[in-house]
Amino acid sequence: MQNNLIQQKIIDLNVCVLIPTYNNERTLKRVLDGVLLITKNVIVVNDGSTDSTSKTLKSYQEIEQIHFPKNKGKGVALRKGFKKAIALGYEYAITIDSDGQHFPADIPNFINALEVSNDKNLLLIGSRNMNQEGVPGKSSFGNKFSNFWFWFETGIKLQDTQSGFRLYPLNVIKNMTFYTTKFEFEIEVIVKSAWRGVTVQNIPIQVLYDENERVSHFRPFKDFTRISILNTWLVIVTLFYIKPRDVFRKLKRKGIKRFFVEDFLGSGDSARKKGLSIALGVFIGLSPFWGFHTVIVIFLAIFFRLNKAIAFAFSNVSLPPFIPFILYASFEFGQYIMNVDYGYTKEEIIENFEVLTHIKAYIIGSFSLAIISATVLGICGYVFFLIFDKRKVVLNNG
Confidence of residue 137 (pLDDT cuts 50, 70, 90): low
Summarize pLDDT for 51-110 with one digit per residue, the tens: 999 999 999 999 999 999 999 999 999 999 999 999 999 999 999 999 999 999 999 999
On the question of pLDDT at 337 being above 70, the answer is yes
Between vectors from CA 9 to CA 34 and to CA 166, what angle results, nearest 5°? 55
Count, residues in the chain: 398
Confidence of residue 233 (pLDDT cuts 50, 70, 90): very high
Q: What pLDDT score does 184 carry?
A: 92
Q: What pLDDT score does 14 carry?
A: 98
Summarize pLDDT for 247-269 with one digit per residue, the tens: 788 878 888 777 776 666 656 78
Q: What pLDDT score does 55 carry?
A: 96
- Kindly tell me the burial class for residue 371, based on how many C-beta atoms sit within 10 Å of its own C-beta (0-12, 13-18, 19 or more): middle
CA atoms within 13 Å, Cβ hemisphere of 35: 27
Summarize pLDDT for 146-174 with one digit per residue, the tens: 899 999 899 899 999 999 999 999 999 99
Structural contact between residues 306 and 276, judged by C-beta atoms closer than 8 angstroms? yes
Summarize pLDDT for 108-123 with one digit per residue, the tens: 999 999 999 999 999 9
On the question of pLDDT at 44 being above 70, the answer is yes
Confidence of residue 183 (pLDDT cuts 50, 70, 90): confident
Q: What pLDDT score does 225 carry?
A: 86
